[in-house]
Amino acid sequence: MRIGTSRTSPIVPNVLQSAEIKVIDLNSIASLRAGVRGVTAIIHLAALNAGECAVDPERALFVNTLGTLKLIQTALDEGVDRVIYFSTAHVYGAPLRGKLDELSVTRPEHPYSITHRSAEDYILQASDAGRLQGTVLRLSNAVGPPVSADSNCWMLLTNDLSRQAVESNKLVLHSSRHQQRNFIAIGDVVGFVEQILESKNDQFTSQIVNLGGLKSFTTLEMAELIRDRCWAILRQRPTLVISDVVTDCNNERLDFRIDKARQLGFSPNINIESELDATLLMSRDHFSQC
């Protein structure tokens, strides 16, 4: 197994010790060519995160969109068979609301989602031309511990709240308590990717697929669930703090449809609570002040 990374000094967690780690510069054809040579399938998640995109939209375009174009061009040159691209549910807008399926109009409003939406087209263009098998996954909010505590993902809602719980014994909501979000267990995401990679037919080729969980939660409901799990496994119940500066948004129900994924064989079966427990335990082990 070969793992590509954009970090100049990658920290290799134990679970990946058997993998071959290659540092890849998305905007260097030579680096990309060396990284993908001999590879049959690419799972493409390399991108600036939302905060980095907001600070530097031009760099977001350079990395997320142009980097994807160069990756696809190199993959075609090197004979890669399949590319699975992780996009974001936020191509439908922000905040997400109402019924959203793959036929819903996309209205990205942030450099993060705008650049992902543009990158999708390069994947699908190559796939529609029959030059590789391309699949676009529009991911909602994945729940579960990162592969390493050093990963730059602790600003995500469930990660942030889990870390707050062990660092300060508080859960401070920085967004509207009524905002709805869809959540999916990371284990279910991994399972669906494995299914795509193992597929012997072209049912996933040129497909855009919403990938999410069976239900949506308000941010308040998720915070309360994390507080309950914190009590269950750590025997502490953090204080829930709702910021006065947050303006409540329209509380229209979010119906993030995953019918297409289920028709393609996706069957979410991993308990969200177990992923939250694992995130809390990682947070305790790495961030606890005790």
Domain segments of the chain as ranges: 1-139
Q: Is residue 1 predicted with pLDDT exceeding 70?
A: no
Q: Supply φ then ψ for residue 185, to 5 degrees.
A: -70, 135
Helices (H), 67-108: 67-77
pLDDT band at residue 11, thresholds of 50, 70 and 90?
low
Host H or E run for residue 133? strand 133-139
Q: Is residue 15 predicted with pLDDT exceeding 80?
A: no
**CA-CA distance, 266 to 77, in Å (whole number)?**
31
**CA-CA distance, 158 to 276, in Å (whole number)?**
7
pLDDT tens-digit series, residues 16-73: 667 777 888 888 899 999 999 999 999 999 999 999 999 999 999 999 999 999 999 9
User: 133 pairs with which residues across the strands?
Assistant: 82
pLDDT tens-digit series, residues 197-253: 999 889 999 999 999 999 899 999 999 999 999 999 999 999 999 876 555 555 678
pLDDT tens-digit series, residues 171-212: 999 888 889 999 999 999 999 999 999 998 899 999 999 999
pLDDT of residue 152: 81
Q: Would you say 234 and 166 are in contact if contact means Cβ atoms under 8 Å apart?
A: yes
Across residues 269-283, what is the average pLDDT?
A: 94
Domain spanning 1-139: CATH 3.40.50.970: no
**CA-CA distance, 157 to 218, in Å (whole number)?**
11
Q: Would you say 72 and 156 are in contact if contact means Cβ atoms under 8 Å apart?
A: no
Q: Is the pTM of this model over 0.85?
A: yes
| Residue of 87, 159, 154 whose CA lies nearest to 119 | 87
CA atoms within 13 A on the CB side of 95: 21
pLDDT tens-digit series, residues 111-155: 999 999 999 999 999 999 999 999 999 999 999 998 888 888 889
- Residue 26 Cα distances to 73, 264, 284, angstroms: 11, 31, 34
pLDDT of residue 215: 86
